[in-house]
Structure 1
């Protein structure tokens, strides 16, 4: 059986899965040069280091203040989908246009996706999004927002799809609410409690 034939499973980011998450991040240059998936928690500036981002992410994991659905093949973490409340993830892209059309905050935001180098094309993002929605249901459900990139009419580098591709969200029942950039939308869906 090849590595790409291994069944995928999804687990939440917590103290038990942190080591597998950290291995994947470290194998991929800290994710986008050292973000450590902190970019929607805090404003990332030139004064922040990758080590600081790593330490703060691990602290948030220990305190239960960060959420992600991690996708595994056996014990190897392949990627994830980060989600959380607006208080947990206050930073959004295209903020001015986002706030211009805002009528009320959602209970949950799905902010970013990551799949490790050489692991794309295996359904990791789709599995991660499904896992995030299942975890949101387990945590009480509510209105969920995402901010995917529309790619139907153009070729887009995977590094620009950190907020996810539109097709993945639409496949999971999200509807387009309003555009917030030429190719990015706010999409919403209600998730019932589990």
Structure 2
């Protein structure tokens, strides 16, 4: 989920990548809490479950933390020192069943991928540092470590349009293409399915 949230002081040290787990949960949670739960309380649960009326930010937070404890959610966190400045979420279709533009996606679906890259978030003041690019690289490295396979993303093609950050939560096209993804098919006027085959590490 590309965003505009506070992530600490001005850019300083080199960026590193760590996976979301019980040890990195506090850093992840600090960034989310500094941003109203991300998009009004999603807590990066929108691709795990169908969000709707009746669900609260507190419920999303609790369920996300439970998934982290169970090892049932995956994200590459980008850190500046001890501060999380952004992330990229990835996982299997079983973990992340609720993608955007589902009807158009399923219309020409022939086979599910092994992995999905569903969303990105970058903290306010951190843009221009390559946070999304670094996060996607970390996700792909972990996918390779876990055996590789076909990876799908669902980025927004900005072209020459000025696009709100809320539309870029699935990632900008350039970040995916810079990592070697190719466009497979459009699923909305500006959103594409992009794919990459990752070899096992």
Normalized against structure 2, the TM-score is what? Answer: 0.94
Please state if 1:37 is matched with 2:44: yes
**Maintained 8 Å contact 2:10/2:126:** no
Aligned match of 1:86: 93
Please state if 1:66 is matched with 2:77: no
> Which secondary structure state, in structure 2, belongs to the residue aligned with residue 112 of structure 1?
strand
Normalized against structure 1, the TM-score is what? Answer: 0.97
Which region of structure 1 is more displaced relative to structure 2, 112-121 or 68-77?
A: 112-121
**Maintained 8 Å contact 1:28/1:117:** no
> Which secondary structure state, in structure 2, belongs to the residue aligned with residue 130 of structure 1?
helix
Aligned-pair CA distance for 1:46? 1.3
Q: Which runs of 5+ in 2 are unaligned?
A: 1-8
**Maintained 8 Å contact 1:71/1:78:** yes
Q: CA RMSD in A?
A: 1.0
Alignment size in residue pairs: 193
Alignment of 1:1-194 (within 5 A): 3-194=10-201
Structure with the larger RCO, 1 or 2 (CA within 8 Å, 6+ apart): 2
Aligned-pair CA distance for 1:153? 2.3
Q: Which runs of 5+ in 1 are unaligned?
A: none
> Which secondary structure state, in structure 2, belongs to the residue aligned with residue 78 of structure 1?
strand
Q: Distance in 1 between matches of 2:199 and 2:79?
A: 25
Q: Distance in 2 between matches of 1:24 and 1:3?
A: 14
